[in-house]
Structure 1
Amino acid sequence: MGTITTGLITYILISINFGWAHNLLKVWLKSWLISYLISIPIILLISPIIDKLVKNLFPVK
């Protein structure tokens, strides 16, 4: 899921900001790699905190 999400977001934003440049694929792949390497650890660190918060806000009866 994270791979698809980061790939789509980076491709769309690079396409909007740069247009159809000759090096679009190179720029996109570099941006995708960086965003993936940043987002996955953040998701792994934040998701347990969010899970705990949701469980506290909506306890199971």
Structure 2
Amino acid sequence: MSFVISVFNVGFVNNILEIWVKAWCFAFIVAFPTIFTISPIVHKLVNVVLDEESHGN
């Protein structure tokens, strides 16, 4: 997906692979800690919602 977005933004230029790898690395550096931090919170919220639904029936 990051490759498609890179091509969309800059086109098929000579150094598209370099641009793509830089974009992918930056996205990974941001995404991994974000997911690692947010995932437990989302998991707890889902459990709360599902628990409320099962008690509501």
TM bin, normalised by shorter chain, reads 0.7 to 0.9
- For structure 2, the residue ranges without an aligned partner over 5 or more in a row are none
Structure possessing the higher relative contact order (Cα contacts under 8 Å, 6 or more residues apart): 1
Q: Which runs of 4+ in 1 moved over 2 A?
A: none
Deviation of residue 17 (structure 1)? 1.0
**What is the aligned length?**
53
TM-score norm. by structure 1 comes to 0.80
Identity over the aligned pairs, expressed in percent? 30
Structure with the bigger percentage of helix: 2
- For structure 1, the residue ranges without an aligned partner over 5 or more in a row are 1-7
- Choose the corresponding residue for 2:21, options 26, 29, 40: 29
Computing the radius of gyration from Cα coordinates, the structure with the larger value is 2
**RMSD between superposed Cα atoms in Å:** 1.2
